[in-house]
Chains A and B, each alone.
Chain A
C-alpha cells in the first residue's frame, strides 16, 4: 500500500473524528457460473471535515465500495461503521435508519424523483430524515446556487443543475457523511469544478465527504486519494 492512501486502523476506532470506517471489505458477485471478486480486503476511514477521493478505472469496484459503505449492499466480509455504529450485517430497518440520519448520497444521475419539483425533492428527503425545517430548503437551494430553480421539475434542468440539485437533496437531512458516486461523470469541466468546489466547501464545514470518480479533477480536489484497481487498494 502506498503511503497516504488511507491507513486502516487496527483496533477499535478510538478516534472520535472518524465519521465512516470500513475494515477489510470483501464482495463477490456470481453471474451464472462466473464469480467476480469486486472488493478484496478494502479498508479506509473517513474523518469529519475531509474530502477523500476514490479513483480507479471503470470496473475497479468504486461503485460496489460506495454501495457497501452506504449500507445499500451487504459486504460478504468485513465491517462498515458509520458514526461509531455498525451498518454492515444489520437488518434492513437499522441500515435504513442509519442511512436516513447519517448519510447523504449523490449519484451520477437519477438523483431526483421526476414527478416532484426540486424543492419538493428536498422536502421529501427532509421528511425521511425526520429533521429539517421548511426554510432549510431555501438555504440548501441557495447553497448550491439553484434559488431560482426551486420550482422546476427535474426534466427541465441541465446536467449540472440536476447534479447540484441532487447534492442539495443529499444534504437535506443534515448528514454527517456525504458519499458521491461519479457525480461529475456526465458534466463538462467547468461544471465539474463547480460541483467539486461545493463538495469541498461542505467538507470544510464539517461533513465527511467521499467522492468516487475517474477524472483527474476529482483527485485534485481531494485532501486524500485512495486508488482502486480490480477491487484492491493500490
Chain B
C-alpha cells in the first residue's frame, strides 16, 4: 500500500513535494552553514591567538632551583619546539655620557642566547644598527640620547657599574607579556612594562651579573622561554584546556621549581570567550532564519491541507484506520524530510567550500557529526511538524463527512482569545529588563575556570519578541481585513476601481490565510532587516574601535623624550597621500598627587582629523565640548573618577601641576572643569585629561607635540604609513589604521562575520521574496476557477488584474510595514542584548539603508512578478475549466 501511495505522490505531486522539500532544504542548509562557519571561525581564532604570541611560555625558575634541571624538564616535553634560557636582572639605572649626561631610573637587563631572535622573532624588532649584540630598547635609547656605537654604564646594586657598547636599538612589541610578573594574579600585574631595558648577549650578561647574583640573588633570575608545537585542537576552549593542563603538568613535574607564565594560555583564554560569543552571535542571527524557513515549509504544506483532508476522508470511508492514514502521511513527511535534508546538507557543503575552501561542519569530528546530524534532524522534524502532525490531528478529530466540506465560518483561534500575543510581549519586555540589569553579561568566564558558561537565557528576550509581535500582527491584520474592510476597500480604489469593495470583501473572507501570509512576510522582512542592521552596527563599531586605538588613519607617536615642534607637521603634510596633519600634545600633569596624561588639542580642527563620538563624553556632545574648549581656553575635560575624587561641579577651578618646558620644573596651571571625557583617541584606559593646546603652550612655554594624527582620506593607508616611517626613522612610532584593525580588541572582530552575514542576508532576501510570492502562487489553482467564472461573467483583463493586485498590494504593504516595525524593535533589542560583542558599545544601531532599500524593492518585485504571472495564466480560461463550471 505504501509503495502505491509513494509512487503516486512522486509522480503526480512532484511540484508540491519539491516545494516543501525546498523549504526544508533551506532550513537545513542554514543550520549546517552555521555549523560550518562556527567551525571555521573557531579554528581561525585559535590560529590567530597562537600566532599572535611571540613566546608561548615564559617559565620562571623559582629561587633556589637549578635552571638547568628546569630546562631539561621543559625540553623533555615532546610538544616543546624550542626552549631557551633568558636571564633577567634588575639594574639601578643606565647612564650615558655624551654631549649631555643622561641617567635613567631603575630598569631591567635581559640576557639573550645567540639564537633567541631566530627562535622568538616576535619579541624583537630592530630599529637601527645591528640586530644582535648589545641592544637598547627604543624608549631607553631616547631617554639616554644614545645610539649604536655609544657606550653606556649599567648600574648594579652594591657594585660598580659595568660598561657596554651599544650595537643597536630595538623595539619590543610584546613588552607587556615579556616583563610580566610570572605567576602573579592579573590584578597585581604592573600597569606598564619598564621604561629602561637593555638586552645583552648571554655570555656578556653572565659576565656582568653573575657577581650580582651571588650578593643579591633576588635581583637576578632566569626564565626559560618556550615555543611549543601549535598542533592544538582547533576549538579555542579545548586548546585552552590542553595548554593549561600542560603548564600545570610541567609545574608538577618540577615540583614547584618552575612557574609557567602561560602567554599562549592567556591568548587562548580570550579567544575562547570570543568563540563563545561567536557561537551566541551566530545562533542569534541564524536560528530565526531556520525557523522562518520552517514556517515557510508549513505554509507550503498547509496549502495542500484541504486536498489532504478530502483524501483522508475518502481513505477512511474505504476502511482505512487512523493508524493507516497516519502512516501514509508519515511516508510523505519522510520523503520530503529526507530529500530536503540531503539537498540542504549538500547546499551547505557547497557554500562552505566556496566560502572557506573546506566543507566541514564542525571544528572537531564530533562537532561536525553533531551539527550534520542536528541539521538533518531539524529537517525531518520540520517535515514531520508540517505534514505529519496536521494529518494525524485531522485523522483523529474530524468526522468523515466533515472532511468532504471545505471552508467554514471559523471561530477565533484559541491564542487570540486569551491574548497570548500580549502576554508574550510583556514577557519579552520582562526578560529584556532582567538581562539588562546585570549588564547583558552573556558569557561568563570566571578567572582560571576551565569552562565558560554561556547565558542562553538571553535568547529568550528576542525569541519572545518574535513570537509576540508575530501574533500581534496577525491579530491586527485579521481585524483590519475583517472589520476594517471598508478601509481596505478605500485603499484599494486606485488598483481595483469599481471593484475595490468586492475585492476587499473577497479578502475579508480569506483573512485568516492572508493574515498568516502577511505575518510570514513581515517576519522574513524583520529577520533580514535586523540581521543587516546588526551587521552594519557591528562593522561601524569595529571601525570606531580601530579609530579609537589608532587615533587616525596614520598616527605618528613621538618618543617621550623627544621634543618635536609643530613644524614637524609641515614635513608630514608634504608626504604623498597625506590630506591633513593634526598635532596632538601629550603631557603629564599632577592632579593632586596623581600623575595623569594630559592631551592638548586644537579645538577647531581636532574633529576633522579623528572621529570623536558623542559617547566619549558626558556633559555635552563632542561638538559642544570642543566649542567650549575653543571659547574658554582654560577649560579642561577630566575623567569621571577625577570628578568624584574632587567633587567637581561644572565651572569649578582645578589646579594642575605641569612641567614647564623652559625650567623643567612643575608649575601650577589653573583650569576650569567643563565636562567628562571617557575615551579619546590614543588615550590610555585610566584617567586622563583633555585641554586646549594653545593654553597649555602658553602656560608651559612649550609647544612640544606628542603625536601627529595624519588623515589620508582612508586611501592607501599602508603605503602612506610606509613613507612616513621612511621619512622619520626610528625616533617616532608610526602606526596605521589597517594594521590596528587587524590587531585591536578581540579576535571576534577579526573573525569574518561578514562571511556569515553575507550568507544570511542572501537567505533573508530569498526568504522574504519567497514568502511574498509563495502565498500568491499557492492560491493559483483556486484562482483559475474564480477567474474562469469572472471571465464568463464579463470581466476584462484589467478587472482581473485588480483582484490579484489588490491581494498582492495588501500583502506587500502589510508585510513591509509590519516587518519594518518589528525589524526596528528587534534591532534595538539585539544591539542591547549583544552589547558585549561590540567594543565600544554603540549609542544607536547603524541603519543599512542600501540593503533595506534593496529588501523592499525585491519583495515588491517578487510580489508583482507573481501577480503578473497569475493574471497571465488566467488570461484565457482553459476549456477544461469552463467545462467544469
Contact = CB atoms under 8 A, between A and B. Distances in A.
B321 A97 contact: yes
A72 B321 contact: no
A115 interface: yes
Interface string B399-416: 111001000000000000
Interface string A71-112: 011000000000000000000110011011101010000110
B7 A67 contact: no
Contacts of A93: 321-322
A142 B319 CA distance: 24
B8 interface: yes
Given A92-B322, A113-B314, A128-B318, A73 B4 contact: no
A196 interface: no
B8 A128 contact: no
Contacts of B399: 72-73
Contact of A128 (B1, B11, B311, B400): B1
Contacts of A153: 12
A120 interface: yes
B320 A96 contact: yes
B718 to A, nearest CB: 65
B317 A72 contact: yes
Given A73-B401, A115-B13, A127 B4 contact: yes
Contacts of B643: none
A72 B1 contact: no
A120 B4 contact: yes
B319 A128 contact: yes
Contact of A101 (B12, B319, B320): B319
> Which residue, B4, B5, B320, has most C-beta atoms of chain A within 10 A?
B4
A110 B310 contact: yes
A99 B324 CA distance: 14
A169 interface: yes
A86 to B, nearest CB: 17
Contact of A113 (B8, B322, B400): B8
Nearest to A125: B318
Interface string B299-318: 00000000100110011111
Contact of A129 (B8, B316, B319): B319
Interface string B445-463: 0000000000000000000
A67 B317 CA distance: 9
B403 to A, nearest CB: 10
Interface in A122-145: 123-125, 127-129
> Which residue, A110, A123, A129, has most C-beta atoms of chain B within 10 A?
A110
Given A110-B314, A116-B4, A99 B9 contact: no
A96 B324 CA distance: 11
Contacts of B7: 116, 120
Interface string B324-365: 100000000000000000000000000000000000000000
Question: A-side binding surface: helix, strand, loop or mixed?
Answer: helix
B interface residue count range (under 10 / 10 to 19 / 20 to 34 / 35 or more): 20 to 34
B315 A128 contact: yes
B320 A72 contact: no
A101 B318 CA distance: 9
B318 A115 contact: no
Contacts of A127: 1, 4
Question: B-side binding surface: helix, strand, loop or mixed?
Answer: helix
Contacts of B401: 67, 72-73
Contact of B5 (A72, A124, A129): A124
A110 B403 CA distance: 12
Given A110-B310, A115-B9, A153-B12, A99 B317 contact: yes
A100 B318 contact: yes
A128 B320 CA distance: 6
A115 B8 contact: yes
A124 B2 CA distance: 9
A165 interface: no
A195 interface: no
Given A110-B314, A110-B404, A124-B1, A173 B319 contact: yes
Contacts of A128: 1, 315, 318-320, 324
A207 interface: no
A125 B11 CA distance: 20
Interface string B275-292: 000000000000000000
A116 B11 CA distance: 9
B320 A116 contact: no
A206 to B, nearest CB: 20
> Which residue, B310, B311, B314, has most C-beta atoms of chain A within 10 A?
B314
B392 to A, nearest CB: 14
A114 interface: yes
Contacts of A120: 4, 7-8
B13 to A, nearest CB: 6
Contacts of B311: 113
Given A120-B7, A128-B315, A115 B321 contact: no
A204 to B, nearest CB: 24
Contacts of B13: 115
B1 A96 contact: no
Given A97-B321, A110-B314, A113-B314, A72 B400 contact: yes
Interface in B828-847: none
Contacts of A103: 319
A114 B55 CA distance: 74
A99 B319 contact: yes
A48 interface: no
Nearest to B395: A92
A124 B7 CA distance: 12
Contacts of B324: 128
Contact of B321 (A67, A96, A110): A96
A168 interface: no
Contact of B320 (A67, A73, A100, A111): A100
B318 A169 contact: yes
Nearest to B7: A120
Interface string B1-42: 100110111011100000000000000000000000000000
A116 B5 CA distance: 8
Contacts of A123: 4
A127 B11 CA distance: 20
Given A110-B404, A113-B311, A113-B314, A96 B319 contact: yes
A70 interface: yes
> Which residue, B11, B316, B318, B401, has most C-beta atoms of chain A within 10 A?
B318
A225 B13 CA distance: 43
Contacts of B11: 115
Contacts of B1: 124, 127-128
A101 B321 CA distance: 12
A169 B4 CA distance: 15
B358 to A, nearest CB: 42
Nearest to A119: B4
Nearest to B9: A115
B279 to A, nearest CB: 45
Nearest to B10: A115
A187 to B, nearest CB: 15
B515 to A, nearest CB: 24
Nearest to B404: A110
A73 B399 CA distance: 7
Nearest to A72: B400
B310 A73 contact: no
Contacts of A129: 319
Contacts of B307: 114
Closest 4 CB pairs of A and B: A100-B319, A115-B12, A127-B1, A115-B8
Given A93-B322, A96-B321, A96-B322, 10 more contacts: A92-B321, A96-B316, A96-B319, A99-B319, A105-B318, A113-B311, A114-B307, A116-B5, A128-B324, A153-B12
17 contacts: A72-B316, A72-B317, A72-B400, A92-B321, A96-B316, A97-B321, A99-B317, A111-B314, A113-B311, A113-B314, A114-B12, A115-B8, A115-B11, A116-B5, A124-B5, A128-B320, A153-B12
Interface of B: 1, 4-5, 7-9, 11-13, 307, 310-311, 314-322, 324, 399-401, 404
